[in-house]
Amino acid sequence: MLGVIDLPTYLAGLVLIVLLPGPNSLYVLSVAARRGVRTGYTAAAGVWCGDTVLMTLSAAGVASLLQANAVLFGIVKYAGAGYLTWLAVGMLRAAWAMWRARREPAAQSAQAEPVAGERPFRRALVVSLFNPKAILFFVAFFVQFVDPGYAYPALSFVVLGAFAQLASFLYLTALIFGGTRLAAAFRRRRRLSAGATSAAGVLFLGFAVKLTLAGA
């Protein structure tokens, strides 16, 4: 179909890959839990735009360039790790503020939440783009399902990308609505909210370390 081979295997692998936790999905869940469905979808749109750019770059051969150029790969890798670290520090600072305000009335602590100036779309987009391993993944995974004899391989990439975006849309939608349900519990239990935000910050630090140690 349009140069795509073994579609059932691709879809099965895609589901497993999408379900693996990563910084993008974790950030969308965090935003939805703190600020609701609309803002959650704003962050998700950043993820989808970032993934679209990565797929386009992969189809254009940028992944091969990164894989062949160790210096360029290192620059992108460490820039991405630095940004993830910056986000992690911000989450840990927010968690500390929540912990300090755990005994304050709900309305007062809600006003104290450090959400001003946060741009969910831009943050999610940058997290997506500064991930060279994702670019390499798209090439390594997609190329296995493209018929080398097909006359229009770009069309095959579009089909594979469309399925990937659909799977991402369904998964992030589930996280967004699940996050809004968690929000009510977080507002009632300040220690739970602070603990969850701390855990998210630690996970982002883990993602940064993992990216730093990744090889081309």
| Band (117; pLDDT cuts 50, 70, 90) | low
pLDDT digits (tens, 9 = 90+) for 5-56: 888 888 888 887 777 667 888 888 888 887 888 999 999 999 999 989 888 8
**Residue 75 pLDDT greater than 70, yes or no:** yes
Global pTM? 0.69
Measured between alpha carbons, how far is 80 from 212 in angstroms, rounded to an integer?
9
Burial of 67 (0-12, 13-18, 19+ CB in 10 A): middle
Collapsed DSSP state (helix, strand, coil) of residue 150: coil
Q: 14-23, 169-178, 185-194: which has the minimum mean pLDDT?
A: 185-194
Q: Which two tokens stand for residue 69?
A: 């150029």
Collapsed DSSP state (helix, strand, coil) of residue 4: strand
The predicted model gives 49-71 an average pLDDT of 77
**Residue 110 pLDDT greater than 50, yes or no:** no
